[in-house]
Structure 1
Amino acid sequence: MTQHITYPNAKAELFSFTGANEVDEHHIILHASNSESTFQQQLDAILDAYQDILSNKLPGTVAVFKRYFLSDAANQADDVAAADTSDCAKSIIQQAPLDGTKIGMWVYLIKGVQTRYLTSELYEVKHGAYRHLWNGSAHNLAANSEYQTRLLFNEYIMQLTQEGCTLANNCIRTWLFVNDVDLNYGGVVRARNQVFFTQGLTNNTHFIASTGIGGRQADPNVLTQMDNYAIAGIQPQQIRYLYAPTHLNRTSDYGVSFERGTCVDYGDRSHVFISGTASINNKGEVVFAKDIVKQTQRMWENVEALLKEAECTFNDIAQIIVYLRDPSDYNVVSKLFRQKFPEKPYIIVLAPVCRPNWLIEMECMAVRKNSNAAFECF
């Protein structure tokens, strides 16, 4: 179920899923609605709207992960950090909302769980047999994107080890934000490939659902930021990897290492994580170069095929993030998405994709009801 909520200077799209075990989950996409106001005014409008939703629509619900999309991180990130001191994993990245405003926000919230920061610095969301481990805005200042990415993964592996987990068995999703993706993505790919190989993540085992996309921190020397999500207590038979071979090829065919999508089955629901997906065919070729409309439509076909493999449809989507290379394509893409997904929470941001010929990419999360006595509930 999705609600559209309007405030004087902000608007929100709220997706809600009610579980059978009293653990409800929600996704909110918040947008500023007055593009002529200052950044501080837009930030205040979004946070006021968020607090109103928490108090009046979602009492007892806690945020477990937030991502702020900024138009100018160098001048805005400190203000966000000062204004939002709440406990949860937070990601702050320069990916300008393309509706003309300076800030947007995605929040993932859950009711009926216990939360805390761990000594490993991961954020734990605990219920039943599972500990969900979130992390945002990880970065370092190593010499180049390859070294930064390698160090990010090495540090993350140590964090997981501290929690009795491994990258191969427990990590479900990563996001890699690359400052100047056209220049620095190659180093990210090399580092990820090398680290994954040492951790037993290969084409013959599996990789991890991921989005590698343009994005910038406040410090221009940070070339790679990583957000990640893992689950302690998950069993191998609960995790399925999505391929949609009629539409997509294996990413390893063109030298990268991530899964197109991952489905996690619980006793009462299934979660689906669709990686950044573009207009590509099952030979790894860019389809419909230079045509934003046809690329958008092919991208939807690919996402739909991945969802179908997880027994889901577009109706099960909980949130969407859309990445555009060229801001002049915003009006066309916005109209297409309004027509295709009028009830879904989504945001369209400026973020070049890893291949210059890809004009657009999207990722999403989906959730559907499940009844499988073989697994513990969420």
Structure 2
Amino acid sequence: MTQHIIYTDAYADLFTFEREGGIKEYHAILHVTDCKKAFSQQLDALMNAYQQLMGNQLKGAVSVFKRYFLSDAANQADEVAAADSSDCAKSIVEQAPLDGTKIALWVYLMTDVETKLLPSELYEVRHGQYRHLWNASAHNMAANSEYQMRLLFNEYVMQLVQEGCTLEANCLRTWLFVNDIDLNYGGVVRARNQVFFTQGLTNNTHFIASTGIGGRMQDPNVLTMMDNYAVAGIQKEQITYLYAPTHLNRTSDYGVSFERGTRVDYGDRRHVLISGTASINNKGMVVHQKDVVKQTLRMWENVEELLKEADCTFDDVAHMIVYLRDGSDYQVVKEMYAERFPNKPIIIVRASVCRPDWLIEMECMAVKAINNDKFPKL
């Protein structure tokens, strides 16, 4: 179920998933409506909308993960951090909302869970036998993007070890934000490939669903930033990797290491994590160069095939994040999304994709009701 909720100088698009006797899940994307106001006023409008949402439609839910999208992190990130004291993993990234505003928010929420910050500095969301482990805005100041990425993954591996987990068995999703991606993405790829090999993540085993995209923190010396999601207590049999071979190739064919998508089955529901997906064919080639409309259509087709492989459709999608290389493409892309996905929680931001020829990329998460007695409920 989706809702469009209007507030003073802001609005929220809300996706709700619920099953009798199970926890409720929500995905909300909050937008500011008055782009002429100063940042502090836009932040106030967003936070007021969030508080009203929590007090009404989301009463009893807790935030488990947030991502703030900013137009100018150097001048805005500290103010956001000071304004939000909620106890969850918070990602703050410069990826300007392309509606002309300075800030937007994606928030993922659940009911009937216990949350806390662990000594490992991962955020735990506990329900039943599962511990969902979130990490956000991880960064360091190593000399270049390769060293920074290697250190980020090595530190994350050690955090997972503290929780009795491994990168190979428990990590389901990563987001890699790269400052000046055209220059620094190569180092990120080399570091990830090297660390994954040491952790048993290869073309013969599996990789991890991921988005590698342009984005930055407030400090220009931070060349890479990482968000992560893992689940402790999950079994190997619950996880299926998605390939859509008629439309997409293996990422390892062109030297990178992530999965196109991941299906995770619990006893009462299915989560589908779709990686950053662009206009690509099953030979690894960019399709429809320099045409954002045709690239968007091919990108949707690719995502649809991945969802179909997980026995899902776009109707099951809880939220979408759309990345545009060229902000001048916003209006045409916005109209395409509004026509096909009215009221779906969507954010369109300015962020370069890892290949200059890709004008657009999207990621999403789907949630679907299932009944599988082999696995515990979420």
Normalised by the size of structure 2, how large is the TM-score? Answer: 1.00
**1:200-256, Cα deviation, whole Å (9 max, x unpaired):** 000000000000000010000000000000000000000000000000000000000
Corresponding position of 1:246: 246
Match of 1:288 in 2: 288
For 1:299, the equivalent position in structure 2 comes to 299
Letter in 2 for 1:286: V
Look up the match of 2:24. 24
- 2-structure distance, mates of 1:129, 1:16: 23
Q: Which residue of 1 aligns with 2:127?
A: 127
One-letter amino acid matched to 2:51: Q
What is the rounded CA distance, in whole Å, between the counterparts of 2:58 and 2:344 in structure 1?
Answer: 18
Matched to 2:34, the amino acid is N
**CA positional deviation for 1:129:** 1.0
Deviations 1:154-213 (A, max 9, x none): 000000000000000000000000000000000000000000000000000000000000
1:365 shift after superposition: 0.4
Deviation at 1:8, TM superposition (A): 1.8
- SS of 1:244's partner is coil
Residue aligning to 2:6: 6
- Is it true that 1:338 corresponds to 2:338 in the alignment? yes
CA distance in 1 between partners of 2:242 and 2:21 (Å): 27
Shift of residue 262 of structure 1? 0.3
For 2:280, the aligned partner's letter is I
Aligned to 2:178: 178
C-alpha deviations, 1:50-82, integer Å up to 9, x for none? 100100111110000000000000000000000
What do you get for the CA RMSD once the two structures are aligned? 0.5
* 2: CA distance, partners of 1:8 / 1:64: 25
Match for residue 355 of structure 2?
355
* Structure 1 residue identity aligned to 2:346: Y
Name the SS of the counterpart of 1:272 in structure 2: strand
Per the alignment, residue 320 of structure 2 pairs with: 320
Amino acid at match of 2:44: D
* SS of equivalent to 1:279: coil
Aligned to 1:86: 86
Q: How many angstroms apart in 1 are the aligned matches of 2:196 and 2:326?
A: 32
Verify the 8 A CA contact 1:138 1:227 in the aligned structure 2: yes
Unpaired segments ≥5 residues, structure 1: none
Counterpart of 1:147 in structure 2: which amino acid? Answer: Y
- Tell me how far apart the structure 2 counterparts of residues 333 and 160 of structure 1 sit (CA, whole Å): 39
- Equivalent position SS for 2:174: strand
Task: Tell me how far 1:343 sits from its aligned partner.
Answer: 2.6
Q: How far does the alpha carbon of each residue in 1:338-367 deviate from its partner, in whole angstroms, 9 at most, with x for none?
A: 011113100000000000000000000000
Three-state SS of the structure 2 residue aligned to 1:63 is strand
* Helix, strand or coil at the partner of 2:148: helix
Which runs of 4 or more aligned residues in structure 1 lie more than 6 Å from their structure 2 counterparts after TM superposition?
A: none
| 1:96-111 paired onto structure 2 within 5 Å | 96-111=96-111
Q: Could you list the per-position Cα deviations for residues 21-74 of structure 1 after superposition, in whole angstroms to 9, with x for gaps in the alignment?
A: 330000000001000000011011011001001001111100000000000000
Q: What TM-score, normalized by structure 1, do the two folds share?
A: 1.00
1:258 correspondence with 2:291: no
1:151 paired to 2:151: yes
Q: Which residue of 2 aligns with 1:63?
A: 63
Find the residue that maps to 1:307 and give its secondary structure.
Answer: helix
Code of the aligned partner of 2:358: W
Distance 2:339 2:186 in 1: 36
Match of 1:50 in 2: 50
Indicate the SS of the match to 1:311: coil
**Is the 8 Å Cα contact of residues 75 and 218 (structure 1) preserved in structure 2?**
yes
Query: Cα distance, 1:7 vs. partner?
Result: 1.1
User: What SS class does the counterpart of residue 105 from structure 2 fall into?
Assistant: strand
The answer as to whether partners of 1:20 and 1:268 remain within 8 angstroms in 2 is no
Name the SS of the counterpart of 2:321 in structure 1.
strand
Matched, 1:116 2:120: no
Alignment-mate amino acid for residue 36 of structure 1: K
8 Å CA contact 1:322, 1:361 repeated in 2: yes
Question: Matches of 2:242 and 2:22 in 1, distance apart?
Answer: 29
Query: Equivalents in 2 of 1:306, 1:266: separation in Å?
Result: 19
Once the two structures are TM-superposed, the CA of residue 260 in structure 1 deviates from its matched residue by 0.2
**In the alignment, what sits opposite 2:267?**
267
Q: Tell me the secondary structure at the aligned position of residue 353 of structure 2.
A: coil
Check whether the contact 2:22–2:377 (CA below 8 A) recurs between aligned residues.
no
Structure 2 letter corresponding to 1:338: A
Structure 1 residue 99 displacement after superposition: 0.2
Is 1:230 the counterpart of 2:233 in the alignment?
A: no
Q: What code does the residue aligned with 1:322 have? A: V
Deviation at 1:19, TM superposition (A): 2.4
Q: How far apart are the structure 1 equivalents of 2:131 and 2:82?
A: 28
